[in-house]
């Protein structure tokens, strides 16, 4: 009857969901008819369905109302309607966590699980196990054991799966059912077999021997269930990995034999297992790859997807193994399932030869608009990788990327493309102009401020040095007219760079600057005014210092210094040279900075390492008069790794002094060291001024002592020195357990390795984005040049790396990358010498038998030039 009413309601709602406007309270109200006698199965069934539907929709039931409904529901066990009973089980499972006292139904369920009605028994077991806890499990243990070996498959399966769920909760009880599970594993029913295998493995997985025995048994006897086979393959490959078994092991043979199974599911599982094995040889991969190849032409999309996804993984490690499938993969490019098509293309891009690139790119462009942004980013990444592999193909790629740039897409997608284009420009100088043109076009209509400013910055850097810089001006000035403040400011900076580099453009840039000075935004006006005035001076040195190469000081350091300056007003003007330099200048090379960036990203806002040292050192009164910290070196180990005492040294350079910080760790648990200091004997005219000992060095707690050294004033070229170091301390033996030291101690000493100070310790790396301008800025006044022969070096790359690490200077203009197949190279290095003098080095390298190097050094200070040349020699 009720059904009829419902039907009418539905029709009124023109066929919409009859459950759509259910009210929880109304349904619970209706649930009262559960208490009526006799029970009306159809009405009750309908209400139970509504309750489960509401739970399924995520409707929240309070504990009281849930409990009330649950107890009313228990009455329905009196009815013998099959569907109603089954819905009761479902309700029990759904409400097990929200209602109280669900265990009230235990006896009813136990009765059903042991009763005569086979239809009830399986579901009753599953419902019962859902509400049973560890203590009650003992009570039903006997029934569970019987159920596992029951001859009715659904009962046995239900018992096995429920046992598996309960392993997490009460492992010890379920463990006792191993024999029953073992018996069930030999059942004829395929699902029972599968479930028994799963339970047995879970119970034994920590016992490798038992797993091996089980595997042997089942691989020999053979199973009927494809699911069970998949499970066996997974167990076998895990075991192979753990035991690092060779590929001649019987387990590998078993997995390989599964490639010939009649079920595709098993064949695929086996192929995928082989592909994922570490250190698989090409020969072992071959059979797996060939079945995957077959799957590529399957009519089932899921199978094609599975195959191409796995092949994609193979291509990462063994691209040559996949080459045989290239034809099949190419057919998949036109697959209606775009996930399959994208995977096929990215696989092909990994395996394909240079000649196939053009064709592939054409095919991608035919459907790239149809795939989701996630896959588009995957495609862009694949292209980016391809550009590095085949740099000569940049023309095709660039064209393709610019087309993609024009399509619609989210920020992530656009950023991926822009990054890709920028990296191509950096890798291939000949692609610079086309790349810049595409980017110019892109910013004409770009809604992402971050991308627009990034591109404007790039234009400012690269644009002025192209053959016809004037064509970029229009694009940049359009931004000044049309965009938001941040973009306008970036555009003004870019304009200034054009004016500074190109004299013939200067008048027009000045006119544009004049207009920018009327801007409504402070930052834009400020920049325009500043650049205007710098440009009007028409001095190369000013341009280089203030337009091309920005500040090289550390920003937190500058902030602190300025704050300090305002606190102590003085007649003296603020000196920027007192501000510590940025210790890790942003490198130009994106590829190199990537790993660093990821590890440092979370602490980006934290002060740099050098700022921390500066803080630590200035808290020691003896060091306060030394001035700002100029440079801190990387730690140098002065002991072997496994010695009694571990000592490492960090060299801090100041304007006229050096502080050596010794981080010492005492690894002897029966000693307490006190008054620890490091005695240093210099080889040159360095003067050891002061020692600051570490008061006490208990077991395994690092402590620091310091030694202050004055650098020789009279001989500025004496930059390198060797110190012989000895650690001196007072030893007090102590109880290893309590750490209680003896009253008396004795003096002892420990010889450390020699410590070297080199020219690199006196030079801080500084990046000059425009080396040429900086070179002109410093001028030729103190220029010196010398030629050296590096006999021991075999390649240009080696020479470049040696020079960089020896001088400790920053390579500019990507000159640290030596192009392939070249016999000569020019390396540009920039840095700041102790005392704040800019140093620039140009090293021309030529490869003959050894490497010949012509070094030209420029600096504001003549001594510095001598120092560099002397140390290179």
Partner 1 sequence: MDSVALEPSLYTVKAVFILDNDGNRLLSKYYDTELYPSIKEQKNFEKNVFNKTHKADNEIAFLEGMTIVYKSSIDLFFYVVGSAQENELMLMAVLNCLFESLNLILRKNVEKRCLLDNLDGAFLVVDEIIDGGVILESDPQQVVEKVNYRTDDNPLSEHSVAQHITEKLAITTNVLQTAKEQIKWSILK
Contacting residues toward partner 1, per CB under 8 A: 3-4, 15, 17-19, 45-46, 48-49, 52-53, 56-58, 82-83, 86-87, 90, 93, 119, 122-123, 126, 154, 157-158, 161-162, 164-165, 191, 194-195, 198-199, 201-202, 205, 227, 230-231, 234-235, 237-238, 241, 264-265, 268-269, 272-273, 276, 300-303, 305-306, 309, 313, 336-339, 372
The H-assigned helical ranges of 505-659 are 506-516, 522-537, 540-543, 555-567, 590-600, 609-618
Residue 810, both tokens: 């920053």
Distance CA 252, CA 222 (A): 16
CB of 92 to partner 1, least distance (A): 12
CB of 119 to partner 1, least distance (A): 6
Coil/strand/helix, residue 224: coil
Tokens 């790993």 found at: 595
The alpha carbon of residue 347 and the mean position of all alpha carbons in its chain are separated, in whole angstroms, by 22
Within 10 A of 591 (CB to CB), how many other CB atoms are there?
Answer: 12
CB of 326 to partner 1, least distance (A): 21
Nearer to partner 1, 17 or 80 (CB): 17
Integer CA distances (angstroms), 557 to 608, 613, 615, in order: 9, 12, 10
Q: Which residues pair with 658 in a beta bridge?
A: 653, 709
CB of 183 to partner 1, least distance (A): 18
User: Using a CB cutoff of 8 Å and minimum separation of 24, what contacts does 471-480 make?
Assistant: 472/436, 472/440, 472/498, 473/498, 473/505, 473/508, 473/509, 473/512, 475/440, 475/443, 475/444, 477/512, 478/444, 479/443, 479/452, 480/512, 480/515, 480/516, 480/519, 480/524
Nearer to partner 1, 181 or 455 (CB): 181
Nearer to partner 1, 259 or 357 (CB): 259
Nearer to partner 1, 191 or 437 (CB): 191
Reference 785, options 841, 716, 838; nearest CA is 841
Nearer to partner 1, 316 or 551 (CB): 316
CB of 42 to partner 1, least distance (A): 8
CB of 43 to partner 1, least distance (A): 13
CA dihedral 634, 640, 646, 649 (to 10 degrees): -30
Nearer to partner 1, 295 or 654 (CB): 295
Nearer to partner 1, 301 or 780 (CB): 301
Nearer to partner 1, 114 or 339 (CB): 339
Distance CA 711, CA 714 (A): 9
CB of 737 to partner 1, least distance (A): 42
Distance CA 461, CA 2 (A): 78
CB of 423 to partner 1, least distance (A): 23
Tokens 């694949």 found at: 382
Nearer to partner 1, 69 or 456 (CB): 69
Contacts of 555 (CB under 8 A, 6+ apart): 582
Nearer to partner 1, 81 or 776 (CB): 81
Output the 3-class SS for 293-357. Answer: HHHCCCCCHHHHHHHHHHHHHHHHHCHHHHHHHHHHHHHHCCCCCHHHHHHHHHHHHHHCCHHHH
Reference 693, options 620, 611, 613, 610; nearest CA is 620
Distance CA 323, CA 329 (A): 10
Nearer to partner 1, 335 or 838 (CB): 335
CB of 106 to partner 1, least distance (A): 19
Nearer to partner 1, 56 or 591 (CB): 56
H/E element, 88: helix 82-95
CB of 390 to partner 1, least distance (A): 25
CB of 804 to partner 1, least distance (A): 36
Contacts of 778 (CB under 8 A, 6+ apart): 838, 840, 858, 859, 860
Coil/strand/helix, residue 867: helix
CB of 269 to partner 1, least distance (A): 5
Nearer to partner 1, 157 or 351 (CB): 157
Reference 49, options 3, 110, 103, 117; nearest CA is 3
CB of 85 to partner 1, least distance (A): 11
């Amino acid at each position: 009857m009720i059904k009829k009413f419902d039907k009418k309601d539905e029709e009124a709602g023109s066929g919409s969901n009859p459950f759509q406007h259910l009210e929880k309270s109304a349904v619970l109200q209706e649930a009262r008819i559960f208490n009526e006698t006799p029970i009306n199965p159809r009405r009750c069934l309908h209400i139970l369905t509504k309750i489960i539907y509401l739970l399924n929709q995520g409707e929240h039931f309070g504990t009281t109302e849930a409990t009330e409904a649950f107890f009313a529901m228990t009455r329905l066990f009196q009815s013998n309607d099959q569907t109603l009973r089954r819905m009761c089980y479902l309700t029990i499972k759904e409400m097990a966590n929200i209602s109280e006292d669900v265990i009230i139904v235990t006896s009813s369920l136990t009765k059903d699980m042991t009763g005569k009605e086979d239809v009830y028994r399986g579901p009753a077991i599953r419902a019962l196990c859902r509400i049973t806890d560890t203590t009650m499990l003992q009570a039903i243990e006997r029934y569970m054991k019987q159920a596992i070996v029951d001859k009715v498959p659904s009962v046995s399966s239900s018992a096995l799966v429920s046992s598996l769920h309960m392993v997490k909760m009460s492992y010890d009880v379920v463990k006792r059912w191993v024999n029953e599970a073992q018996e069930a594993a030999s059942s004829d029913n395929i699902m029972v077999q599968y479930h028994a295998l799963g339970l047995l493995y879970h119970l034994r997985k920590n016992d490798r021997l038992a797993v091996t025995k089980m595997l042997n048994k089942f691989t020999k006897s053979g199973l009927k269930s494809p699911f069970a086979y998949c499970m066996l393959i997974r167990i076998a490959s895990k075991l192979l990995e753990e035991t690092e078994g060779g590929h001649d092991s019987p387990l590998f043979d078993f997995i390989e034999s599964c490639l010939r199974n009649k079920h595709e599911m098993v064949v695929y599982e086996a192929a995928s297992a082989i592909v994922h094995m570490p250190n698989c040889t090409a020969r072992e991969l071959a059979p797996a790859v060939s079945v995957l190849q077959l799957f590529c032409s399957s009519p089932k999309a899921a199978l094609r997807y599975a195959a191409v996804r796995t092949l994609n993984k193979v291509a990462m490690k063994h691209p040559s193994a996949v080459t045989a499938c290239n034809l099949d993969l190419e057919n998949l490019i036109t697959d209606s399932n775009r996930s399959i098509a994208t995977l096929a293309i990215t696989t092909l891009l990994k395996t394909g030869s240079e000649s196939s690139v053009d064709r592939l790119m054409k095919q991608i462009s035919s459907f790239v608009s149809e795939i989701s942004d996630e896959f588009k980013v995957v495609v862009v990444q694949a292209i980016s990788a391809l550009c590095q592999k085949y740099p000569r193909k940049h023309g095709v790629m660039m064209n393709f990327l610019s087309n993609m740039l024009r399509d619609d897409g989210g920020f992530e997608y656009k950023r991926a493309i822009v990054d890709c284009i920028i990296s191509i420009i950096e890798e291939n100088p000949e692609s610079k102009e086309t790349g810049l043109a595409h980017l110019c076009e892109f910013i004409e209509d770009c809604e992402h401020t971050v991308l627009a400013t990034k591109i404007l910055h790039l234009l400012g850097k690269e644009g002025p040095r192209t053959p016809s810089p004037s064509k970029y001006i229009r694009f940049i000035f359009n931004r000044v007219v049309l965009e938001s403040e941040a973009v306008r400011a970036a555009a003004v900076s870019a304009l200034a760079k054009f004016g500074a580099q190109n004299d013939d453009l200067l008048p027009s840039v000045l006119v544009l600057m004049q207009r920018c000075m009327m801007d409504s935004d402070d930052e834009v006006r400020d920049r325009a005014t500043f650049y205007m005035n710098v440009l009007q001076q028409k001095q190369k040195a000013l341009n280089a210092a203030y337009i091309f190469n920005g500040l090289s000081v550390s920003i937190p350091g500058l902030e602190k210094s300025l704050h300090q300056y305002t606190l102590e007003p003085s007649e003296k003007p603020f000196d920027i040279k007192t501000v510590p330099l940025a210790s890790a200048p942003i490198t130009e090379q994106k590829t190199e900075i990537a790993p660093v960036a990821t590890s440092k990203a979370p602490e980006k806002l934290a002060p740099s390492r050098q700022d921390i040292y500066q803080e630590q050192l200035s808290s020691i009164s003896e060091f306060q008069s030394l001035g700002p910290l100029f440079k801190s070196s990387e730690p140098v180990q002065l002991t072997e790794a496994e010695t009694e005492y571990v000592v490492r040294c960090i060299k801090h350079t100041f304007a006229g002094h050096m502080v050596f910080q010794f981080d010492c760790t005492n690894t002897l648990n029966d000693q307490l060291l006190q008054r620890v200091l490091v005695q240093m004997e210099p080889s040159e005219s360095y003067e050891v001024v002061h020692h600051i000992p570490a008061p006490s060095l208990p077991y395994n707690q690092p402590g620091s002592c310091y030694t202050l050294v004055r650098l020789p004033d009279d001989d500025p070229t004496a930059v390198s020195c060797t110190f012989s170091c000895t650690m001196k301390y007072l030893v007090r033996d102590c109880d290893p357990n309590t750490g209680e030291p003896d009253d008396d101690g004795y003096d002892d000493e420990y010889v450390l390795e020699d410590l070297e100070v080199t020219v690199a310790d006196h030079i801080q790396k500084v990046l000059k984005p425009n080396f040429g301008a900086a070179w002109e800025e410093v001028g030729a006044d103190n220029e010196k040049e010398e030629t050296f022969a590096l006999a021991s070096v075999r390649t240009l790359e080696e020479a470049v790396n040696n020079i960089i690490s020896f001088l400790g200077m920053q390579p500019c203009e990507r000159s640290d990358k030596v192009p392939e197949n070249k016999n000569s190279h020019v390396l540009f290095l920039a840095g700041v010498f102790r005392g704040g003098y800019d140093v620039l080095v140009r090293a021309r390298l030529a490869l003959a038998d050894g490497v010949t190097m012509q070094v030209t050094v420029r600096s504001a200070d003549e001594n510095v030039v001598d120092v560099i040349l002397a140390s290179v020699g």
